[in-house]
Amino acid sequence: MSRQYTLQRFPVSTSIHVDYAAELNEQQLAAVTAPPGPILVIAGAGSGKTRTLTYRVAYLLENGIDPRNILLLTFTNKAAREMLGRVANLLPVDANGLWGGTFHSVGNRILRRHGSALDYSSGFTIMDREDQKDLIDTVVASAGIDPKEIRFPKGDVLAEIFSFAVNTEKPLEELLAEKFPYFLPLLGKIQDVHERYEKKKKATNSMDFDDLLQKALLMFQQHERIAEFYRRQFQFILVDEYQDTNKIQADLVDLLACDHRNVMVVGDDAQSIYSWRGANFQNILEFPKRYPDAQVFKIEMNYRSVPEILEVANAAIAANVQQFRKHLSATRESKALKPALVALNNGAEQAQFVAQRILELRDENVDLNDIAVLYRAHYHAVELQLELSRRGIPYQITSGIRFFEQAHIKDVTSFIRFVANPRDEVAFHRMVKLLPGIGNRTAENLWRKWETDVVAAGVDRGSEATSAPAGVIAPGHSFAERLLAMSVSAKSKKMWMQLAHTLDEIAPGGQPNPPSEMIASIVEAIYDDYAKVNFANYQLRREDLDQLAVFARQFKDVHEFLAQLALISNVDAEAGPTQSADREAVNLSTVHQAKGLEFHTVFVIWLTDGMFPSSRSLDTRDALEEERRLFYVAITRARDELYLTYPLMRLSGGYGDVFQRPSRFLQEIPSDLIEDWQVQRR
């Protein structure tokens, strides 16, 4: 019969250095000083979540917990460093032994020590996404698959599919049906590539980023002695931003905590907005079910926003059924300025309102850097970018590159540039390289042929041999006639013919159709299939292209349309914030990218059903509730002023304007909490 013997902890410090009651509010103090066991801390927006975690670590250390027995998991290594730096400033204690970092960095550290259990040496290579793509492309080739022939997904798209399968722990078939249904007919081939890819990684002693989680969990599941070692070491586990964890991350935490169950997770269910990249909202929602004896603390004192904004935020999230109900309370005094609800006639007028109000705020000494315009999707900012450029208001895109500079936008406009000016070599190269079997060298050879046989023959702009309008191919000639006379490889021939006929379709008889019609034809005939196999976020890019067609409807002449795009790019290049690191600039961002940030003034635009919430979210309650959480996140970015705007009409992809229904989220906010602004034109 074995005897249980307990080692007493040697106290790290014999005196308490931190006055926790003085440093924390009552809600924070209760969480920080809670006894061991499972703990869920629901920390509302702006409530001092990081402060709570930092002081919890300090509290554990001051109560004799060895730093080596603490595991702090965050979503960025920077966040972990900042927390540990604050702990070091609070206590005269060496906490270097504490394990702190991202899930992936901790997984890497463990696998370096014990990867041999899975037949990996400690010197394994961690592939970045480019390396991963190259290895998958190699595997696809070795499997005898010609991606050009069957429109097989490219390496980076397959990498995204495999990554999502790992992080959600879903079978490939289920995942494809849910997120990539157009690849379901290729399921068998994709599964074969995945198996070959796993074998290739093992053979080359390589891991991708997701393996750092998957292989760590697999090792713990298959090797109990290793799992037991780390369960004994990590006596206290703390997890930041728990609402953003995915299935495999939650499983890792539960496995390591299953003996002592001293796990504190901190997050805000109302800010769970990343299901599209694998985050599992149920992790935080069901924590009390997985740990029935969990203590639940709510931190609801907000240090960021004025009371008027918080009242709107509380009302905005109230309709969600799946949530831990809480009520944010302000520590700041009232400004007697209610958030504004602003209805505009259309998207152009919305952009004008935002731009004018930004200039007024600047005159009121609000720094441009402290102003943000938030939106649901990248394409919602098209008209605003144009208006800001016209008015010379510098802006920066924190949600990615500027709309008109994105690859898929430039790809499609290259067709339009070419039919408008057959001498445009850059447009020709970009256009033909979208076709299978055509790389830089082939594109150059084709251009020389085109230049010799067509441009030099005097059938384009400036030729005395033609009476065609400037920039188009001469009457009596067609793009198909010229292009089909050029020789291309057998691999490229089918799509080369498609290109030739598409150019004739968008510029019949050498006369370009209206830009909006051209965009629709290019996407339908060529680019949609290309985008599916080349972009993991195909759906978002397709929405951008649909919006580009809508934007182009205001231009009947192709040259006016292209000139306007060039004007925007050139104005941006001259006035953009990239010239100087300390140059003022308004922040334009999707709400997803703005999470964690805060601004003096926030504009939330395009608040109409189908835009925000998005049309894809209207079919299920879960999707709609995530959209409502996204709206809540947008509101809680504002400290002092908030403007909620929506256009009454918008251009449609067809013909004419369509009426817009104000977002259902706006109708859930009591009218006495907001001020209705009536905008008039002078």
Q: Do 235 and 6 contact (CB within 8 A), yes or no?
A: no
Which member of 27, 28, 49, 350 is catalytic?
Answer: 49
Pairing of strands 39-43, 70-74: unpaired
* Long-range residue pairs from 130-138, CB within 8 A, at least 24 positions apart, any chain: 131/206, 132/156, 132/159, 132/208, 132/209, 133/159, 135/197, 135/200, 135/201, 135/204, 135/206, 136/162, 136/193, 136/197, 138/200
- The DSSP secondary-structure symbol of 485 reads T
Q: Is 240 a catalytic residue?
A: yes
Does residue 307 have a cis peptide bond before it, meaning omega lies within 30 degrees of 0?
no
At residue 160, the 3 state secondary structure works out as helix
- The DSSP secondary-structure symbol of 37 reads S
Q: Is 51 a catalytic residue?
A: no
Q: Is 241 a catalytic residue?
A: yes
Q: Give the strands of the sheet with 295-299, arranged side by side.
A: 99-102, 70-74, 236-239, 263-267, 39-43, 295-299
Quote the CA–CA distance of 116 and 324 in Å, as a whole number.
Answer: 43
Which member of 231, 637, 639, 650 is catalytic?
Answer: 637
Which member of 160, 208, 241, 244 is catalytic?
Answer: 241
Which member of 62, 156, 210, 240 is catalytic?
Answer: 240
Amino acid identity of 665?
F
Quote the CA–CA distance of 80 and 471 in Å, as a whole number.
Answer: 58
If one counts every other C-beta atom within 10 angstroms of the C-beta of residue 462, the result is: 10
Residue 82 backbone dihedrals phi, psi, to 5 degrees: -65, -40
Quote the CA–CA distance of 388 and 568 in Å, as a whole number.
Answer: 9
SS (H, E, C) 338-405: CCEEEEECCHHHHHHHHHHHHHHHHHCCCCHHHEEEEECCHHHHHHHHHHHHHHCCCEEECCCCCHHH
Q: Is 640 a catalytic residue?
A: no
Quote the CA–CA distance of 413 and 41 in Å, as a whole number.
Answer: 50
Q: How far apart, in Å, do the first and last CA atoms of the chain sit?
A: 92
- 48's torsion region: left (phi>0), alpha (psi -120 to 50) or beta? left
Which two three-digit tokens encode residue 358? Answer: 């930004």
Q: Is 271 a catalytic residue?
A: yes
Which two three-digit tokens encode residue 262? Answer: 């001293």
Q: Do 674 and 338 contact (CB within 8 A), yes or no?
A: yes
Which member of 50, 76, 442, 593 is catalytic?
Answer: 50
Strand ranges (DSSP E) for 8-166?
Answer: 39-43, 70-74, 99-102, 125-126
Q: Do 271 and 243 contact (CB within 8 A), yes or no?
A: yes
Which two three-digit tokens encode residue 349? Answer: 């007028």
Which member of 132, 243, 271, 350 is catalytic?
Answer: 271
- What are the DSSP calls for 190-218, one per residue? HHHHHHHHHHHHHHTTEE-TTHHHHHHHH
Q: Is 335 a catalytic residue?
A: no
Quote the CA–CA distance of 641 and 92 in Å, as a whole number.
Answer: 41
Amino acid identity of 292?
P
| Angle formed at CA 607 by CA 601 and CA 608, multiple of 5 degrees | 170
Q: Do 588 and 396 contact (CB within 8 A), yes or no?
A: yes
Q: Do 481 and 509 contact (CB within 8 A), yes or no?
A: no
Quote the CA–CA distance of 492 and 496 in Å, as a whole number.
Answer: 6
| Angle formed at CA 205 by CA 204 and CA 211, multiple of 5 degrees | 115
Catalytic positions, please? 49-50, 240-241, 271, 637
